[in-house]
Amino acid sequence: MNDTETLSPVLPDETEEATRRLLQKAHERDLMLATAESCTGGMLASLLTDVQGVAHVFDRGFVTYSNEAKAEMLGVALDLIETKGAVSREVAIAMAEGALAHSRAHIALAVTGFADAGDEPGLVHFGCARAGRKTAHREEHFGPGGRGATRVKCMKVAVEMMTEML
């Protein structure tokens, strides 16, 4: 039986299971989660609210597709975006830290990348922040598999990073 309802048709079983475990562990530790998403367009927030019985550990999600949204909602400096690029290590980290600062969450995951276009299709940067710890970063090169495939691969990495930050 699938635990996630909305995204079940597209998610690999192991990603669904990992999501369930992440939410259960966060629940047991009384930790809240938040997301800051660009290229995934809210898909991670949807995934984290799909698991019945433990979705309450999700505090909020920020879908910050435009540079202005990253600045206004997360406090990412526009000059950082202009100098480093919206798809960069620095911006992913700033997004994660901004989501943490602008929520009640204990752990925040940010994702920014080129889902199917841009300088390098499939290039995605992830940041994962937790108060009192160094913000983690991962860079993935998923290749030109298309927007949907890249987003699904992002879910696996995001859940892994949040689990590691527990």
In the chain the domains, ranked by start, together with CATH numbers, are 13-153 (3.90.950.20)
Q: How confident is the model at residue 5 (pLDDT cuts 50, 70, 90)?
A: low
Task: Report pLDDT for 2.
Answer: 43
Averaged pLDDT, 75-82: 98
- Return d(Cα 99, Cα 6) in angstroms, integer: 24
- Return d(Cα 133, Cα 109) in angstroms, integer: 13
- Return d(Cα 38, Cα 23) in angstroms, integer: 22
Q: How confident is the model at residue 11 (pLDDT cuts 50, 70, 90)?
A: confident
Task: Report pLDDT for 51.
Answer: 87
pLDDT at 10 > cutoff 80: no
Task: Report pLDDT for 119.
Answer: 81
Closest CA to 107 of 125, 128, 126: 128
Segment 24-70, tens digit of pLDDT: 999 999 999 999 999 999 999 999 999 889 989 999 999 999 999 99
Sign of CA dihedral 63, 69, 73, 75: positive
Averaged pLDDT, 71-98: 98
Task: Report pLDDT for 72.
Answer: 98
pLDDT at 8 > cutoff 90: no
Segment 107-156, tens digit of pLDDT: 999 999 998 777 899 999 999 999 999 999 999 999 988 889 999 999 99
Q: Which pairs count as long-range contacts for 115-119, CB under 8 Å and 24+ apart, including other chains?
A: 115/39, 115/40, 115/146, 115/147, 115/150, 115/151, 116/144, 116/146, 116/147, 116/150, 118/87, 119/87
